[in-house]
Amino acid sequence: MTNSTEKSSKELQARLAKTQDHARLTQAEKRQAKGFNTARENIEKLCSGKLFREYGQVAVAAQRQRRNYEELQTETAADGVITGIAPINNECITLNPHANISSHDTVLIVNDYSVLAGTQGYFHHLKLDRIIEVALNKQLPIIMLTEGGGGRPGDTDITTINSGLQCTTFSRWAGLTGKVPRIAVNNGYCFAGNAALFGAADITIATASSFIGMAGPAMIEGGGLGKFNPTDIGPIDTQAKNGVVDIVVRDESHAIEIAKTCLGFFQGCHTDWEAPIDSALDCVLPDDRRYVYDMHKVISGIVDINSFVEIGKQYGSAIILGFARIEGKPIGLIASNCKVLGGAIDVDAAKKLNRFMKLCDLFAIPIVSLCDTPGFMVGPEHEKNGAVRYLSELFATGANLSIDFVAVVIRKCYGLGAQAMLAGSTSKPSYMLSWPTGEFGAMGLEGAIKLGFKKELEKQTEPTKRQALFDKLLAQQYEKGKALEVATVLEIDAVIEPRDTREIVLAALK
């Protein structure tokens, strides 16, 4: 090695070292005191020791006019955002040739809160724009850690820009919708521009220590809307219940683990899986059809053990949905939850379901539907929430699905709500199945009797006789709507034993 080459090499290593945690001990210790990881530690957890090809590592904040350049190299390392590419899940996922993803390579974007509170400066945005362009050109999925305080007003070097509204980062990020999967992870404060990036992702994951809002305290106060602490704005309980956060996790390390798991569903088949026991579904339903049960037990009896990742657990909980696997094959799973509103689909559940079905369709992930619903949730209060608009949108989404859609009726299959769970009708799924306990009808049996036989019931003035007539008519309607009877007129394709569900669904998806 010549003297000039050796000198250049030492200069390079010294410069790169200034971006590492050992050169930024004060900032690293502050993170550790909070129980948080540093940005570099999160990169390492994402890469799991694999090569990380970093973009723009030696960038600094555009503040050379007001601060010492040597100081900026350490204090504003990478201008507050680490970007690059590394392979994710290549040791356990076999790529799906039908998916949009052709490589395990994944774009990683980690906002660094230890640099100017993770705010977005001029070069910060240029780095984001560059890596988003790379992701689009190479068709690479993205995992982004979004912690940060939004726009940065202190970049004094850029003197030819007034408003900053020419920034293209947000439109570029949103423009990736349907082109590559985008998973956003948050821990700590996430305000303004950072929150806009978080909220536009396909899957949003946040720790219990997250506070997420479209404006931070300074912006709210500056707008004359009052003075608030950062912890008053968008706490996790609020953002999980309103659907902003899809998955709530313990901490950053847990969030990264879940993000990699979610990414795997878009990549392809898991090489290591374990089937539930054959008898898992034998006793999940109560003897009395009026009693509730745990749909999660049904799900567990069908999918690979520990493979189900629920999306939006605290939001629109009349429907359970998420990603899972059957013999390692990824599926989107939607299921009625009879423990909430009896399984009736309300506006929040419809919004959640609509978004999820579109996501699965965009990335060629087949859907399995487990239906047990009395229909749509109705009434004056629900109409105030726009029920007609949001419930009807489910039919538009279902009608335009291009993926395999397999439906299994567990118990109730009534009315428009049931049709929405079936992507439009019993003829829409590629395979329309039912357990023997399935019940079918244009509306709930009890309501159908009260409406259809109103005059007959009113003639029975004695309460005991009226109840006896009601019970008789109900039994007759139940017999007519049983799965076995409906199958005779070809409204469904097959009636199956519960314990055969996994095997038959898998065969239908193949």
Q: How many CA atoms lie within 13 A of 199 on its CB side?
A: 20
For the segment 290-303, the average pLDDT, to the nearest whole number, is: 96
Q: Would the pLDDT of 151 be above 70? A: yes
Query: Would you say residue 173 has pLDDT above 90?
Result: yes
Residue 119 has pLDDT above 70, yes or no: yes
Answer yes or no: are the C-beta atoms of 227 and 217 closer than 8 Å. Answer: yes
Burial zone of 458 (CB within 10 Å; 0-12 exposed, 13-18 middle, 19+ buried) = exposed
pLDDT at res. 477: 73
Q: What percent of the chain has pLDDT over 90?
A: 80
Answer CATH for 277-438+482-508 from 3.90.226.10, 3.30.1330.10, 3.40.50.2000, 3.40.50.1370: 3.90.226.10
Task: Give SS3 for 445.
Answer: helix
**What's the pLDDT at 165?**
79
Q: What would the pLDDT profile of 324-365 be if each residue is shown by its tens digit?
A: 999 999 999 999 999 999 999 999 999 999 999 999 999 999
Residue 1: pLDDT band (50, 70, 90) is: low
Domain at 14-266, CATH from 3.90.226.10, 3.10.580.10, 3.20.20.140, 3.40.50.720: 3.90.226.10
Q: What is the pLDDT of residue 445?
A: 65
* Mean pLDDT of all residues in 422-434: 97
In whole angstroms, give the CA distance from residue 210 to residue 239.
Answer: 9
Contact 186, 246 (CB under 8 A): no
Confidence of residue 466 (pLDDT cuts 50, 70, 90): confident
Cα distance between residue 173 and residue 107, in whole Å:
13
- C-alpha to C-alpha distances, 478 to 348, 437, 486, nearest whole angstrom: 30, 11, 11
Can you tell me the mean pLDDT for 57-61?
A: 93
Residue 157 has what pLDDT?
84
Sole residue written with tokens 């690979």: 304
pTM: 0.93
Distance CA(487)–CA(489), nearest Å, equals 5
- The residues of the chain that CATH labels 3.90.226.10 are 14-266, 277-438+482-508
Instruction: Using pLDDT thresholds of 50, 70 and 90, give the confidence band for residue 158.
Output: confident
pLDDT, residue 442, reads: 75
Average model confidence (pLDDT) across the chain: 92
What's the average model confidence in pLDDT over 299-327? 98
The angle formed by the CA atoms of residues 341, 343 and 344, to the nearest 5 degrees, is 70
CA 377, 380, 383, 385 dihedral sign is: negative
Say how far apart CA 359 and CA 332 lie, in whole Å.
9
The Cα–Cα gap between 328 and 272 comes to 7
Q: Tell me the mean pLDDT in the region 32-45.
A: 96
Cα 164 from Cα 71, distance rounded (Å):
26
pLDDT band of residue 448 (cuts 50, 70, 90) is low
Give the mean model confidence (pLDDT) for residues 235-248. 97
Helix axes 463-481, 445-452, angle to 10 degrees: 120
pLDDT the model gives residue 443 = 67
Q: What is the dihedral of CA 262, 268, 270, 276, to 10 degrees?
A: 80
What pLDDT score does 247 carry? 98
Q: What is the mean pLDDT of residues 474-489?
A: 83
